């Protein structure tokens, strides 16, 4: 039975999107901390969001490399998983129990992903959803607004923006 992550286009897609997100994070860091664009006001929420997202994506790539090592995945999959296989090539020089490391790191990555999801209501990501739903920055609690509008209207408003 083939793991869905071993399908070439899925392996490539995961790594491609991870690469795009990492490039976006690097651009955000460059604009906010290196050239300091005056229109970008950076506060602790922004820094936390950038760090959280970066850590989740980097640990995801690291997790894929551990999976490739632990499951002895075919060369066909490895060539499409360009980030994971590159890191697996470096880590493969060490003779370790990759299955145990993969298992433990998987839980660590999931914990980070859930922590990031728990952070969303306290950051600007939630504000983006609020504006998509209501069209305004200041509204009643988002849950109440969404309940009043209904699922269909909320989905329609998100799709139409």
pLDDT, tens digit, for every residue of 30-41? 988 888 877 777
Q: What tens digit of pLDDT does each residue of 62-101 get?
A: 999 999 888 877 666 677 888 988 898 899 899 999 999 9
Evaluate if residue 42 carries a pLDDT over 80.
Answer: no
Average pLDDT over residues 16-27: 95
Sign of CA dihedral 93, 98, 104, 106: positive
65, two tokens? 């490399």
Length of the chain (residues): 161
Evaluate if residue 54 carries a pLDDT over 80.
Answer: yes
Give residue 72's pLDDT: 76
Helices 44-71 and 98-119: angle between axes, nearest 10 degrees: 160
94, two tokens? 């060490």
Give residue 109's pLDDT: 95
Considering only residues 135 and 148, tell me which one the structure prediction assigns the higher pLDDT.
148
Evaluate if residue 51 carries a pLDDT over 70.
Answer: yes
In percent, the amount of the chain with pLDDT more than 70 equals: 93
């Amino acid at each position: 039975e083939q793991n869905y992550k071993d399908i070439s286009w899925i392996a490539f897609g995961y790594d491609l999107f991870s690469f795009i997100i990492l490039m976006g994070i690097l651009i955000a860091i460059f604009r906010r901390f290196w050239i300091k664009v005056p229109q970008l006001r950076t506060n602790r929420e922004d820094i936390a969001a950038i760090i959280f997202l970066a850590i989740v994506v980097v640990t995801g790539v690291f997790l894929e490399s551990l999976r490739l090592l632990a499951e002895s995945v075919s060369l066909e999959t490895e060539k499409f998983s360009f980030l994971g296989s590159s890191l697996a090539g470096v880590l493969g020089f060490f003779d370790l129990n990759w299955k145990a490391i993969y298992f433990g790191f998987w839980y660590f990555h999931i914990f980070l992903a859930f922590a990031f999801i728990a952070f969303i209501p306290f950051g600007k990501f939630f504000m983006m959803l609020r504006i998509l739903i209501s069209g305004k920055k200041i509204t009643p609690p988002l849950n109440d607004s969404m309940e009043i509008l209904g699922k269909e209207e909320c989905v329609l408003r998100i799709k139409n923006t």
